[in-house]
Amino acid sequence: MRKLAQNNSIEEDELLRFLNNQHKIKNVIFFNDLKDYIILQPDWLVKCFRCLVNDHQKRTDAISFNACQTLKTTGELSETLIDRLFQKEPTLQFGNRKRHLLRVMEKFDIIVQPLFRDTDNDICQKSHLYYLPCMIKKSLQFNDIKKMFIKENVKVTITPWLVFEFKFLPLAFFNHILFYYVRNYTVCKAETGYPALYLGKAVFYVDRENLSNFIICFSQNAISLQVWNWRDVDEDINKQMLSELCNQIEHIRGTLGQNLSYNIKAKCSLGDFSKRDGRISLTEITNTKHEVYFCEEHQQKHSNEDIEKTWLKHDVRAFNFISNVWYGNISDRYNTKHTGFVDGIKAGDDIMADKGSRLITGK
């Protein structure tokens, strides 16, 4: 392609712009950081994806059967299994382009190489194997997972649930969120030595200190997150968890062009994340004059305090305008006029301001 461009006096940056544009409109598959290959027929790639995710039952030989069972239990996709699955379409020769195809599949959030921490020697390393989280069929109840990580008689602080409740949430959307966490956090290993990746649930270390974990769960039209702390609660962690999940949802909504609407809610720490009953929106807590709310799941009142201090105070949506930082010698009048704040006000809006701020009129 480069030679072709040179022969026609096309500069490399122009060629890259062309390829990126063709990728955008789905004519070819091209990534700037994987320049060695350009996939001219997206259909060919779709068939390759299909080899990995479809009809594993038909593999009858013992090696493939065992590897398929491991895939369904842990999500682990062995090299042997990849080779065998690619052979399902021998004429398409996926095996010859295996390394590139695997990297492309990483780009499309189909496979991932997670970070694991070995509990024996506390060494954290990237798995040499690929994982296919969307193939994990192993399902475990939340309480069983919790029991594996939270031992009785050990002091632990469990945050209220943070719940993103959607009008409609496809599992594929959750999988993109899950990929983000698998790429950026270390996956915990369960007692069995397997990674704590289950159907619609995963447990991660918050940081290297190993004293906070978080679990992220998918349920009907909701993504829920809870943090388990074995040390003093670090508010920055809660803040990070909330803003990170908000940002990722927004990012994925943008890249997929899916305008999924959602409401941010919370639920008491002992509640069932998958039940709608008992979820309370952060806006409701903000607007209430009471110090308690009624939890429909437990049919009792809970204090707002836990939700307020864990999630609500970090809910950035409470601010819809944050100006750039200005020097102290800038007047309030100048600041208000030049930050863009005035542009966001509509006629009839009520504004509370410090005394002497008579500058809004005559916008």
Under DSSP, the state recorded for 275 is -
Q: Based on CB atoms, which residue is closest to Zn ion, 29 or 268?
A: 268
- Residue 355 CA to residue 360 CA, distance in Å, equals 13
Residue type present at position 215 = I
Binding site for Zn ion (CB under 5 A): 268, 271, 295, 298
Looking at beta carbons only, is 234 or 308 nearer to Zn ion?
A: 308
Helix ranges (DSSP H) in 139-213: 142-149, 171-184
Closest separation in Å from C-beta 152 to Zn ion: 21
Between residues 160 and 195, which has the closer beta carbon with respect to Zn ion? 160
Q: How far is the CB of 288 from Zn ion (least distance, A)?
A: 16
CB of 267 to Zn ion, least distance (A): 7
Q: Residue 296's Cα: distance from chain center in Å? A: 28
Q: Spell out the residues 6+ positions from residue 92 whose beta carbon is closer than 8 angstroms to its own.
A: 44, 47, 48
Instruction: Please state, in angstroms and rounded to a whole number, the distance separating the CA atoms of residues 188 and 195.
Output: 6
User: Residue 105: which H helix or E strand, with range?
Assistant: helix 98-107
In the complex with Zn ion, which residue's Cβ is closer, 197 or 268? Answer: 268
Q: Closer CB to Zn ion, residue 75 or residue 271? A: 271
C-beta closer to Zn ion: residue 88 or 276:
276
SS (H, E, C) 51-100: HHHCCHHHCCCHHHHHHHHHHHHHCEECHHHHHHHHCCCHHHCHHHHHHH
- How big is the chain, counted in residues? 363
CB of 262 to Zn ion, least distance (A): 21
Give the C-alpha distances (Å, rounded to integers) separating 56 from 77, 79, 84, 133: 12, 15, 10, 15
Shortest Å, Cβ 271 to Zn ion: 5
We find the least distance from the C-beta atom of residue 266 to Zn ion, in angstroms, to be: 11
d(CA 242, CA 235): 11
Q: Which is nearer to Zn ion, 133 or 271 (CB)?
A: 271
Q: What is the nearest approach in angstroms of Zn ion to the Cβ of residue 289?
A: 21
